[in-house]
């Protein structure tokens, strides 16, 4: 699976750990030191002085080079973060001109 961080709330990035992309995650997050990696239990690492373990198919979120959240599965990740990728979030704003509208009447 391609390593593709996704933009999430408050300028954070997030990515799924697929069991094989620990080197890419390590390169993307400046304050991340891998402690161990096991195909069944996942990736154990430290960031910002905290130790974390993320299961295969779990998610990591980070901000300014430090891990802020670890989720063990997609459902937990989605319950906190909704993807805000620019290519999937568009608003169309229709502007019109003309005379001003009357203020609503108060009852």
11-67 per-position pLDDT tens digit: 889 999 999 999 999 999 999 999 999 989 999 999 999 999 999 999 999 999 999
Find out whether 24 and 4 touch, Cβ atoms under 8 Å.
Answer: no
64-98 per-position pLDDT tens digit: 999 999 999 999 998 887 654 444 555 566 677 77
Name the token pair of 92: 């169309």
93-107 per-position pLDDT tens digit: 667 777 777 777 876
Say what percent of the chain tops pLDDT 70: 83
Domain boundaries, the chain: 6-88
- Please give, one letter per residue, the 3-state secondary structure of 56-84: CCEEEEEECCEEEEEECCHHHHHHHCCCC
Which single residue is written with the structure tokens 């989605």?
Answer: 78
Q: According to the model, what pLDDT value does residue 86 have?
A: 47
The residues pairing with 43 across neighbouring beta strands, listed in sequence order, are 37, 54
Q: According to the model, what pLDDT value does residue 85 have?
A: 47
């Amino acid at each position: 699976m391609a390593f593709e961080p996704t933009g999430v709330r408050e300028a954070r990035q997030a990515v799924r750990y697929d069991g094989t992309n620990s080197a890419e995650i390590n390169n993307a997050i400046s304050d991340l030191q891998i402690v161990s990696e096991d195909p069944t239990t996942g990736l154990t690492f430290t960031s910002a002085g905290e130790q974390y373990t993320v299961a295969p198919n779990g998610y990591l979120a980070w901000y300014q080079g430090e891990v802020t959240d670890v989720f063990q599965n997609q459902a937990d990740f989605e319950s906190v973060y909704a993807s805000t990728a620019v290519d999937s979030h568009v608003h169309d704003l229709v502007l019109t001109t003309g005379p001003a509208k009357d203020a609503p009447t108060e009852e």
